[in-house]
Structure 1
Amino acid sequence: MEIRARGTRWSSRSIVATAAAALLGVLLIPTAARGAQPPAAGAAAQESRPVYSYEGAIRESVWVDTGLDSDKDGGSDRVAVDVIRPREPARQGRKIPVIMDASPYYSCCGRGNESQKKTYDAAGDPVGFPLHYDNYFVPRGYAFVAVDLAGTNRSDGCVDVGGRSDIQSAKAVVDWLNGRARAYGSRTGTDRVRADWTTGATGMIGKSYDGTIANGVAATGVEGLKTIVPISAISSWYDYYFQQGAPLYDSGPDWLAGYVESPEASDRCQAVRQRLIDEAPRTGDLTRLWTERDYVRNADKVRASVFAVHGMQDLNVRTKHLGQWWDALADAGVERKIWLSQTGHVDPFDFRRAAWVPTLHRWFDHYLLGYDNGIDREPMADIERAPDQWSTDRVWPPRGTEPTTLRPASGTVPGVGTLGRTPAGPGSTETFTDDPRLDETDWAADIDRSTPAKSGFITRPLSRDLRLSGSATVTVTATPSTATAHLSAVLIDLGPDTIRDYSAAGEGITTLTERTCWGPSTTADSSCYLETAARTAQVDHTVFSRGWADLGTYASAGHGRPLTPGKPYTLTVDLAASDHVVPAGHRLALVIAGTDRGLIDPPSTTPTLTLDLNRTAARLPITGGAEAFHRATTGTAPPHSAPRESRPDGVAEPRRTPPIPGDRSR
């Protein structure tokens, strides 16, 4: 089960209730020899090896005291922690690091493409751990720790959807692993259990909600958390349910809490769920509840390195989450690595498995064992350019990427304008009427036709490739005819291509029948998983970035207000981060419209909006900046130095090259 937004092609409630949650080479890894010595740590060590017995590993459960009483029962909440660790290191007097996945899904919904759940023997001891992390890493000298968030599976407390209880569930475990918190051998017992077998070095990993918890724990600055690997993860829960006041989901966090919590928690946590209703109004106002769940504001506290993975067509946890988190981490000087795929909400284990597992192995070896294997000096970014075709960049966004202002202008056909560097003349306008029956694919299909529900602006065919890398914005000045209005802005690559079919079931992958194995197995825990292949589609256009907003938030991002019909309002819409190359011969298009069906909810009225084109502009992250755009759209170099950038209100501002995130040469 995954957190999932309602999409054009999905019904959130039906999919959430039926789909597998965390979608997580072809090599059988033999069972490790028992009692073998690991390679020595230090500069000469390059790789941890499978030298420990998986079958003979210690499997145990402890309950960690969180120090909270979220269910108000008078006792401190204890969260259940299932541990699997090799037996031999303790006998040898060696301590080991920890890989941890903290999740609300271990009993309700399952993890991975095959919806695996935790399993226990008759005595209640863990015997089956979801995903391959235990099978692969335990023989290599790591412990794997699977944490049930408060209010789920065998834990006390209440789910609060990214709030203090959720984050403390996992942070307390990191504290326990580092000797700062208490754990017990049972849910109600007094028998203390100490983690004297670990170095305390912890790496958190997980997809979707699990990766979100990793972000949140890292943002506390907890000591001992050395690295996180957030996959398709949320960075601010407000931006999961809304974007700039526009509702993105047909339910609130109370519904998600009720879905994942245990039956026992359902009875005792009514007050917490009521708070999730009362303090998360569907108006889209930015309340204290949402501020508490914004990890981006605390990115400067992050001590851990971050290996972020995201699908650029993820319409569940949209790449706005990745972009704002990545930029904040860059500002804080955090060590980072990134993979961007063409998939939707899919784990790299299921779109690039043969490369993912060894890359993750080397990442953990470096940050948890201290091996100098060079992964920190390799290219920062891996980006999928076409199905199963990848490129790399030393830093991301790449050097020379500059925010470049493009201007929409009217054309000869109403609603079909141009997109370039020249501002529209004073008084130039375009008009559209919100039609909640249509979506971005409808707008793209009709880009060259005058239709009443959108305004489209298109470049001429490009003479050379044009790369956009990072986060974009579109500033719109619009006059509504009614008191409410929602806006959508999308960037489209107009031209034929073969892409991963992110809109189909699987969101870009097809699950096959053969299996590959990633470590030793037991009768209760197999290391063998169904293989996948890219599911592709032939298209004549690709929407590669989008953003939405309630025009009523023009004055305050945190509070919407009624509009005065006939009055112009200016608002900047944030677009999701992406990395896309518009090939030579294709055209780049910007569409501004109303409701994007299935991706945002419509306003309470049906407004007609008139755009003031002289005060409307897109600010796009173009590699090579204005000069690259000029060359691509004219086939020639600019006749003189690129003009100064200017804001949509026509006020000039000096050109400046921003620091490239992660580029240590600056």
Structure 2
Amino acid sequence: MSEVKVALLAVAMLTMGLSGCIGTGEDLEEQRVDDVGEDAVDSTNGWSTPTEPRRYEILPGIEASFTSFDDTEISVGVFLPDKPACDWNASEQPEECQLPVVIDAGPYWGDGEEDKSFRPPLVEWLVPRGYAVLHMSVRGTGESGGCMEFMSQAEQADVDETITWAAKQAWSNGNVGMMGRSYDGTTPLMGAASGNENLETIVPISGVFSVPDLMFKNGTSETRGPIMHSVVYWGLFGMGAIYGAEAADFRAEHWAEQACEEVVVGQAQGGYATATGDASDEYWQVRDFTEPILENYNGSVWVVHGMQDWNVNPSQAIPFYQAMEEDPDIETKAWFGQWDHAYPDRVDEHRNVRWDWADRTLAWFDHYLKEDEQAPTPDLTVEVEDSLYVWRTEDTYPPEDAEPTTHETDLSGTVAANNAVSWTSEPLDENVRVAGLPSVEVTATPTTTEGGWVFAELYDVYPDGVSMRVGWGALNLAYHEGGNTDPATLTPGQPIETEITFEPMDAHIGEDHRLRLVLHKDGVEDIPQSPDPSPVTVDDVNLVMPQIDRDETLAEPTPPGLNDMEVR
């Protein structure tokens, strides 16, 4: 959540179309130019715009509210088109005045009537083309009542009730979708987990499928882990510190509502899980949406996630995406590209801009919410962009034909604070494609009962010596059997056979390049240095990479630039 990153710094200081199949390796960039047409691309705002003409003007936003299950007032901003012959104040509407609804729900909306933001410009994209768009402020934020409970069961129930409220409005056709990024990309997952029958489709962008697995990956803890609820969201949003005047005044008038048990439990559990890696408490488990989605959701999902997302790691979506694919009640589509906590169509966020994103989004909603027979049937595949910024289409992801390939290393030594060990391969004799979740098999011998955290980083070393990091992983040795809920008791001096799983990657490593693997205890991304700096001996280290063959002709690997993955 880039908003969260900013907050922490402050505290510290579809798609349809695009045909292709496994092995074709088609360059989708050329297809996009042909499909959309250069003259139709509107880059005025630095992001994509639907090529379908605007049919209606956007009426001023309406500030509305409803009472949730526990009498908490939930604030929503409603945006409707200026459609002739439609009286939006009427208690009954003719069929032509009943619109599909798309909700963007989160803590960032302030008074809810903002029609433009850094989030997907849904009002501009959808309302002129016959949709209603709702901005919902989760409880305890914006002008909603209650306490900022950070994705609690009560907040999940509010999302469910917002969907029902939207579906029952006279101007609604009863079909509801949800879309948003980061926190706003997580609320659609809450909606899916609720099983609300009116929720037909969701488009989560950098959404959090499991809060405990994000904050406490394999028993490690992100820097924000102990303060995510109590400082970042409760302090900055619940207390209104970063809103405009109107919403800030509302929050100031309702500050007493922010004294709730959920905040106290969140602070205590944040500290405990950070110290121990144990996220088994109910506070965390009710914020894991994976099983409820599989149990309750009957609809479609288009997952959009950056493979370089430093904030909501791509392991949130991969490989759980495949579990949704296998569910007969869920239709799935995904875009996985080489951007960070961003969008696929922003010129300042992504090197190979997907100018077709707005068109694909509109067509997706037209199919699932308008039930438009003229809308193209969604191509339920995965479009993935590799580290050379070349797009291709896969039937699933990770690819089913990915072959685990073991690269034996001679790496051994002692990993401790400020003491890393590394291995560099011989030059590769052919191009290598990595697609999925690599891992490091390692025998680790702790010297304390805690063992501490061990990090692995993989680099692509170019012939001129420049290195580009292509992957990383983290593991708390007390959780060497997996997960973050059942720590093992370590015996100093007793070896542990385990593996460190990397974040998902889709990388092309060129012929004559070298692989460099580094093991250390000094932190990576938002995970700080191991709290236990004591030495760990590592040996019998193997790098296992899921490798694929594709018959496309790849461009020569270009030297990494400042906007690419981390360069060293």
Q: TM-score range by the shorter chain?
A: 0.7 to 0.9
Q: Identify the range of structure 1 (129-138 vs 554-563) with the bigger mean alpha-carbon deviation.
A: 554-563
Distance 2:68 2:454 in 1: 43
Opposite residue 472 of structure 2, the aligned amino acid is R
Shift of the 560–267 alpha-carbon distance from structure 1 to 2, 3 Å rule, reads farther
Asked whether 1:64 is paired with 2:59, we answer no
Tell whether the 8 Å contact from 1:378 to 1:394 is kept in structure 2 after alignment. Answer: no
Distance 1:134 1:397, change over 3 A: same
Identify which range, 95-104 or 165-174, moves more after superposition. Answer: 165-174
User: Compared with structure 1, are the counterparts of its residues 266 and 564 closer, same or farther at alpha carbon in structure 2 (3 Å cutoff)?
Assistant: farther
1:478-493 matches, cutoff 5 A: 478-484=444-450, 485-493=452-460
- Residue 465 (1) aligns with residue 431 (2): yes
Distance of 1:563 and 1:555 partners within structure 2 = 12
- Distance of aligned partners of 1:597 and 1:17 in 2 relative to their CA distance in 1, 3 Å threshold: closer
Query: CA 1:555/1:232 → structure 2, altered by over 3 Å: closer, same or farther?
Result: closer
- CA 1:64–1:390 in structure 2 vs 1: closer, same or farther (change >3 Å)? farther
Contact 1:284 1:559 in 2 (8 A): no
Match of 1:335 in 2: 331
1:346 to 342, 349, 356: 342
- 1:101 partner amino acid: D
- Tell me if structure 1 keeps the 8 A contact 2:432–2:511: yes
> Whole-Å Cα distance in 1 between the matches of residues 2 and 163 of structure 2?
24
How much does 1:153 deviate?
A: 1.0
Distance 2:446 2:435 in 1: 32
Superposed CA deviations along residues 310-363 of structure 1, whole A, max 9, x for unmatched, are: 222111111111214313212324322222232221123423363222221222
Equivalent in the alignment of 2:413: 431
Count of aligned pairs: 479
Q: Residue 260 of structure 1: which of 234, 237, 240 is its match?
A: 237
User: Residues 243-273 of structure 1, C-alpha deviation per residue, up to 9 Å, x if partnerless?
Assistant: 1111112433222232221435543233221
Asked if the contact 2:409–2:543 (Cα under 8 Å) also holds between the matched residues in 1, the reply is no
Verify the 8 A CA contact 1:50 1:141 in the aligned structure 2: no
What's the counterpart of residue 282 of structure 2? 288
Tell me the CA shift for residue 128 of structure 1: 4.1
Counterpart residue number, 2:108: 105
Amino acid at match of 1:237: V
- Taking the aligned partners of 2:430 and 2:114, their CA distance within structure 1 comes to 57
- The whole-number CA distance in structure 1 between the counterparts of 2:130 and 2:384 is 28
Partner of 1:363: 364
Quick one: distance in 1 between partners of 2:515 and 2:43? 43
Aligned to 1:231: 205
- Give yes or no for contact 1:2–1:16 (8 Å, CA) kept in 2: no
Q: Which residue is equivalent to 2:476? A: 550
Structure 2: segments with no counterpart, 5+ residues: 14-40, 88-93, 241-250, 551-568
User: Does the CA contact (< 8 Å) of 1:2 and 1:209 recur in 2?
Assistant: no
CA contact (8 A) 2:107 2:137 kept: yes
Q: Give the superposition deviation at 1:235.
A: 1.2
Measure how far apart 1:466 and its partner are.
1.6
Question: Cα distance 1:288–1:266, how it changes in 2: closer, same or farther (>3 A)?
Answer: same
1:475 paired to 2:475: no
Determine whether 1:245 maps to 2:256: no
Asked whether the 8 Å contact 1:299–1:332 carries over to 2, the reply is no
Q: 1:338–1:328: structure 2 CA closer, same or farther, 3 Å change rule?
A: same
Listed as ranges, the matches of 1:150-549 within 5 Å are 150-179=139-168, 195-250=169-224, 251-252=226-227, 253-258=229-234, 259-261=236-238, 262=240, 263-264=251-252, 266-270=255-259, 271-280=261-270, 281=272, 282=274, 283-286=276-279, 287-300=281-294, 301-333=296-328, 334-350=330-346, 351=350, 352=353, 354-371=355-372, 372-374=374-376, 376-377=378-379, 380-383=382-385, 385-386=387-388, 389-397=389-397, 401-410=401-410, 417=411, 430-436=412-418, 452-456=419-423, 458-484=424-450, 485-495=452-462, 540-549=466-475
Q: Is the 8 A contact 1:279 1:288 kept in 2?
A: no
Q: Secondary structure at the match of 1:332?
A: coil
Match of 1:511 in 2: none
Counterparts of 2:205 and 2:135 in 1: how far apart (Å)?
A: 16
| Partner residue of 1:622 out of 512, 529, 547 | 547
Whole-Å Cα distance in 1 between the matches of residues 433 and 400 of structure 2?
A: 11
Alpha carbons 1:400, 1:623 under 8 Å: kept: no
The answer to whether structure 1 residue 86 and structure 2 residue 81 are counterparts is yes
- SS, match of residue 620 in structure 1: strand
Q: Is the 8 A contact 1:453 1:594 kept in 2?
A: yes
Identity of aligned residues (%): 25
CA 299–580 in structure 1, closer or farther in 2 if over 3 Å, else same: farther
Q: Counterparts of 2:365 and 2:306 in 1: how far apart (Å)?
A: 22
1:137 matched residue in structure 2: 126
The offset of 1:17, in angstroms, is: 8.3
CA distance in 1, matches of 2:12, 2:531: 28
In the superposition, the TM-score normalised over structure 1's length comes to 0.66
Report the counterpart of residue 149 of structure 1 in structure 2: 138
Give the alignment's TM-score, normalised by structure 2: 0.77
SS at match of 2:363: helix
Q: Is 1:610–2:533 an aligned residue pair?
A: no
- Once the two structures are TM-superposed, the CA of residue 211 in structure 1 deviates from its matched residue by 0.2
Instruction: Give the aligned partner of residue 53 of structure 1.
Output: 57
Q: Secondary structure at the match of 2:466?
A: strand
1:486, 1:549 within 8 Å by CA — same for their partners in 2? yes
When residues 142 and 236 of structure 1 are mapped into structure 2, their CA distance, relative to the original with a 3 A threshold, is same
Instruction: Give the Cα separation in 2 of the matches to 1:621 and 1:220.
Output: 35
CA deviation digits over 1:521-578, x for unaligned, max 9? xxxxxxxxxxxxxxxxxx9222222111110123563133553221112333332112
CA shift, 1:144, in A, is: 0.8
Partners of 1:398 and 1:248 lie apart in 2 by 26
Give the alignment's Cα RMSD to 1 decimal. 2.9
| CA distance in structure 2 between the partners assigned to 1:399 and 1:409 by the alignment | 26
8 A Cα contact 2:415 2:538, kept in partner: no
Higher strand share: 1
C-alpha distance in structure 1 between counterparts of 2:345 and 2:339, whole Å: 12
Counterparts of 1:399 and 1:577 in 2: how far apart (Å)? 12
Closer/same/farther in 2, CA of residues 325 and 213 from structure 1, 3 Å limit: farther
CA contact (8 A) 1:159 1:165 kept: no
Distance in 1 (alpha carbons) for counterparts of 2:463 and 2:150: 41
Shift of 1:28: 7.0
